[in-house]
Structure 1
């Protein structure tokens, strides 16, 4: 249920508004252990233009988390009221708590030409696709079940039961891969990153995200013709 930002403070390195283009939604899903976090981190480091959408949740704040910065912390009643009014781009219930991405701030970022990257589960991705069908939906695949199990065990952080649960979940998630626009097999990290990078760059040139570009160029021909 998370989206990522390159510069939360919108300081000198933050992406400026771009009136010549609309922002795109980039959604990346993968079974646990596929290497998604590493690839997403590399993409955000190279392209400091991704905007951040603060998610809503009904869980209590943890540690130093601040309302409106890390999450919008809502009561269950308030969250369900927003959900019923269609105010979330995507939402889900996880371990008894609700999480969701507010739709209005997300549309504002996109209208200002900022791209938004989502590192979320399949359920959230499918909800986003209903609202943002022109987005880029990428599914990362492990080379095989054996390799995925090797990676999960190699992390040394999960008990046997958790590993079995993650492998079972991976099998279910990969059945949803056909709903995605792009597949990338992460058998080599550098090659997988180059493919992800290429998908993103190609997506930024789609006409739907550049409504004023052709008009401006054609106008220059008319003025000089």
Structure 2
């Protein structure tokens, strides 16, 4: 397991699918010059996604081989698909920058929280059920994929109170501004980590 150095931190963007967590994470990361770590998955690439930008797409065989070699810092299975973060990628990103961000579901966020405690700050993004469903339709998700996502909506929303911070995401520019300000307070020491 990668051991975080004194000033290294992980910001985890989480929340229901369609909450805008990936978009907000990228924009906040760009603003703060913070590196993002990309998850690996066995699910098929969606039409609007890009290899090595949205995910590293692996066959189940390759994923399981990497898992058997202890390459993943965290891994979960959701709706029959495997997802995971490779430890080497986390280490490589930390070499470039003292803080990184990831976009994870609550299971992945919990694993990192258990591993690294207060050095993991969970940023929960959300919008109402109708809004997230509409966003998924607009980006071209199939009805089957949307139904699978929406079946987890209430469970995902229940995770909000466990996270360090929560942000309603209806106005993207406003949300990015709020999130960036919050992260900046950790980076400057204005919001200290618990000891």
TM-score where L is the length of structure 2: 0.71
1:91 corresponding residue in structure 2: 75
Matched, 1:177 2:180: no
1:137 corresponding residue in structure 2: 122
Aligned-residue RMSD, C-alpha? 3.6
Judge conservation of contact 1:28–1:119 (CA < 8 Å) in 2: yes
Matched, 1:35 2:20: yes
Judge conservation of contact 1:43–1:197 (CA < 8 Å) in 2: yes
Q: How does 1:31-110 map to 2 (within 5 A)?
A: 31-50=16-35, 52=37, 75=62, 78-83=65-70, 88-94=72-78, 98-103=82-87, 106=90, 109-110=93-94
1:186 corresponding residue in structure 2: 169
Q: How does 1:119-130 map to 2 (within 5 A)?
A: 119-130=103-114
Q: Distance in 1 between matches of 2:62 and 2:98?
A: 30
Paired residues in the alignment total 179
Q: How does 1:140-219 map to 2 (within 5 A)?
A: 140-142=125-127, 144-153=128-137, 155=138, 157-206=140-189, 207=192
Judge conservation of contact 1:33–1:148 (CA < 8 Å) in 2: yes
Larger radius of gyration: 1
Task: Give a deviation string over 1:75-102, Cα, whole Å, max 9, x none.
Answer: 466434344xxx6321123565644323
Shift of 1:203: 1.5
TM-score where L is the length of structure 1: 0.63
